Amino acid sequence: MNKDLLGRKNRKTTNNSAESIYHEIIAGNIAALSQGITLIESSNASHREKSSELLKLCLPHSGNSLRIGITGVPGVGKSTFIESFGKHLSDNGKKIAILAVDPTSQNSKGSILGDKTRMEILVKSKNVFIRPTPSGISLGGVARKTRETIILCEAAGFDTIIIETVGVGQSEVAVHSMVDFFILLKLAGAGDELQGIKRGIIEMADLIAINKADGDNLKNAKHAQQDFKNALHLYPPKESKWQPNVLLCSALNNEGILEIAEETEKFQNLVGENGHFKKNRIEQQKYWLFQSIEDNLKSAFYDKSDIKIELQKQIELLKRNETTVFAATEYLLNL
Ligand code: GDP
């Protein structure tokens, strides 16, 4: 790892070429890392060009981190958990980058990570880099930018990437397909714990952590733990051969955090040895390649000015029952 890592050099590069930003990033210059991420987030065409050059240069230095996704409903304690978990990891010598995928951030002021004061301790740690979601773009846009940001963070020497997301829409699927280990944070409450949980999310989880297992809530949390354990037995074994566990924690009191960190280590060892780690990363690349082709084809189609006009005409014909969806599709695609 580079000696200059994290903090020693922290000045913006005066030479703004992709190459000079790249050299600063791999030397661990955090200001240059932020500069690179800003390029990635920009929609300006010349920035786009520069950022792809930068990514190309950084790519050979990336891929060496453990990427951890964390999801859970608002209020479950994600920020508190990341603060506590992140502190544990950084106390153990890890260099952590914390990113967020929050497609709702354009319309909610309290977007995740937007308010860095929620992670007071981590913000001050020089082994930790926090970057909130870029705002005002679609989930597809956020997902792409986050995947590219991961590459820059890894090139800058971060060995643990934590990606937080809210349980909204497809954001969990997007994050699941860019991480190695996926943690679902849950709360114990009255009634049936499993009600109202999207089935797919349990299936994606590599670890379910029941947070706020403290005080009067401990008993409920233990019940929830058992319910989730029973439910997990109903799912087919994972391709990774990893058996997801259900653990209790109190992010607020720093309880159960060590066990969760140990669980991620066990996972890392297992999938490292059985080859799933690499295989999964390749599968993820393939997934994103197809996603990206689809996105590009779609925008290439819809952005054409004649398509825009003809599409409206076909909609009018549909309204008047003068064409069918099938015929309209065929007509538009043949244009
Ligand atoms: P997020 O919206 O998922 O990021 O949740 P926050 O981390 O902001 O936490 C929401 C509230 O739950 C805050 O008031 C926290 O202090 C509280 N909280 C978080 N973790 C715990 C915990 O382990 N135990 C208890 N009792 N409260 C917690």
Would the CB of 79 count as within 6 Å of ligand 1?
A: yes
Choice among 78-92, 110-124, 150-164, 275-289 with the minimum mean pLDDT: 110-124
Measured CA distances, 286 to 17, 56, 170, 289 (Å): 30, 18, 18, 5
Rounded distance between C-alpha atoms, residue 227 and residue 223, angstroms: 6
Which atom of ligand 1 is closest in space to residue 215's alpha carbon?
26
Would the CB of 256 count as within 6 Å of ligand 1?
A: no
pLDDT bin (cut points 50, 70, 90) of residue 101 is: confident
Rounded distance between C-alpha atoms, residue 270 and residue 262, angstroms: 12
Residue 211 CA to ligand 1 centre (angstroms)? 8
Q: Where are the alpha helices (DSSP H) in the chain?
A: 18-26, 30-41, 45-58, 78-91, 120-124, 139-155, 171-176, 199-204, 218-232, 257-273, 276-302, 305-319, 325-334
pLDDT bin (cut points 50, 70, 90) of residue 154 is: very high
Closest residue by Cα to atom 25, ligand 1, is 212
Residue 166 CA to ligand 1 centre (angstroms)? 14
Residue 198's pLDDT is 66
pLDDT tens per residue, range 190-248: 444 555 566 678 889 999 999 999 999 999 999 999 989 998 888 888 999 999 999 99
Which atom of ligand 1 is closest in space to residue 82's alpha carbon?
7
Which atom of ligand 1 is closest in space to residue 185's alpha carbon?
3
Residue 77 CA to ligand 1 centre (angstroms)? 4
Residue 161 CA to ligand 1 centre (angstroms)? 21
pLDDT tens per residue, range 263-315: 999 999 999 999 999 999 999 999 999 988 998 899 899 999 999 999 999 99
pLDDT tens per residue, range 10-52: 555 566 899 999 999 999 999 999 999 999 998 888 898 999 9
If one compares 318 and 8, the residue with the highest pLDDT of the two is 318
Residue pair 163/49 in contact (Cβ under 8 Å)? The answer is no
Residue 80 CA to ligand 1 centre (angstroms)? 6
Rg of the chain on CA atoms, in Å: 22
Would the CB of 71 count as within 6 Å of ligand 1?
A: no
Rounded distance between C-alpha atoms, residue 237 and residue 233, angstroms: 9
Picking from 93, 112, 94, the residue whose alpha carbon sits closest to that of residue 103 is 112
Q: Where are the alpha helices (DSSP H) in 108-255?
A: 120-124, 139-155, 171-176, 199-204, 218-232
Would the CB of 323 count as within 6 Å of ligand 1?
A: no
If one compares 150 and 109, the residue with the highest pLDDT of the two is 150
Res. 3: pLDDT tops 50: no
User: CB atoms < 10 A from the CB of 73, how many?
Assistant: 15
